[in-house]
Chains A and B, each alone.
Chain A
Amino acid sequence: MRPPRKRPWIVAVAVAALAAVAWAAFTPVSFGSREEPFEIPKGTWARRMAGNKVEILPSHVYLTLGIRDVLLLKNLDDVPQIFGPTLMMPGQSFRLPFEVASSYQFACTAHASGQMTVVVDAQPDTPWRRLVWRTRRIFRVVA
């Protein structure tokens, strides 16, 4: 009877996968700042008026309570911009904190579509939630 063949690479991959899962589950999620900043650059309105398709802000912005839960918009353009009912003057910023996990719809003239959705996730405060949060984040980045 022949002894089973050892496949060290399978063991190595399994260990690495387990380590990655353990890291994703047990390492606390943190960012340098709780603010997620977006800038409407100078010339956005002019480029749009010239017929160019200009997408500055993503159609979906993802925030997480307790970690990154403040939306910071800066209007660096020469004309006022509307974010939701918020009329931002040139050079003005708007800082919007969120305290409830939910999905928020806003009208936004900085978007060609005129719409923006802010999805606020609950704080990933347990290993399972951290794992789910990180997995979801990977899918969102890839998508």
Chain B
Amino acid sequence: MTTRLAPLLACVLLSMTAQAAEVEALKAGVFNPAREAPDFSVRGSDGAPLVLSRYRGKVVLLAFGYTSCSNVCPVTLAVLALAHRKLGALGSQVQVIYLTVDPERDSAERLKQTLASYDPTFIGGTGTALQMAAVRESYGVTAEKIGTGTDYAISHSSFVYLITRDGKLRALMPFGHEADDYVHDISVLLN
């Protein structure tokens, strides 16, 4: 019995050690234990339904923002695009998903145009106000409308979520980190 259990225990120990090393190694904030990333199905900027669970097998970088954002989102998207380029061939194993916090103005077409100017592989997601609010709630993302009329702004969470290839919400990168930090963490998660 002991002989049979030994390899199993060794595997569990190795897995725990690897997980602890991963937690220590990342530059992003790390959840422990990692939970299942809440799944969602919204309208994708490519015209098809955007379902998170369809990206199993890739590391997903999930960001929340809106195309009219003038300060935070352009920086986040530029950093993600640079990181994606720096990853080279590994970039094909990474998917950036950008969900709007402003479904009122951000149509799928508008998201597509904006994201294409950063990286054509990025996918945006939009939907009804209720749909998007439910997704935000499941991730703990805040978004608050500031101003009235058509020229309003939205104060929103600026973190980027890092989802592992097996669909676990492992970490989040605070705003202000450079592309190299993303490259570093993505490499850790891919390995």
Contacts and interface: CB of A to CB of B under 8 A. Distances in A.
B176 interface: yes
Interface in A73-118: 80, 82, 84-89, 91-97, 99-100, 104, 107
B49 interface: no
Interface stretch (B10-18, B30-38, B75-83): B30-38
B170 to A, nearest CB: 11
Interface stretch (B86-94, B110-118, B137-145): B137-145
Contacts, number: 46
A33 B142 CA distance: 32
B172 A85 contact: yes
A88 B176 CA distance: 22
B174 to A, nearest CB: 7
B30 A94 contact: yes
Nearest to A104: B174
Given A97-B27, A100-B176, A85 B140 contact: yes
A100 B181 CA distance: 13
Interface residues of A, number: 19
A89 B138 CA distance: 11
B29 interface: yes
B121 interface: no
A23 B117 CA distance: 57
A27 B158 CA distance: 39
B30 A82 contact: no
Given A84-B159, A85-B157, A85-B172, A92 B31 contact: yes
A92 B159 contact: no
Tell me which of B29, B32, B142, B176 has the highest count of chain A C-beta atoms within 10 A of its own C-beta: B29
A35 to B, nearest CB: 10
Interface of B: 23, 27, 29-33, 35, 138-142, 157-159, 172, 174, 176
Interface of A: 80, 82, 84-89, 91-97, 99-100, 104, 107
User: Which 6 pairs across A and B sit closest by C-beta, in order of nearness?
Assistant: A87-B140, A85-B157, A96-B29, A85-B159, A95-B30, A82-B140
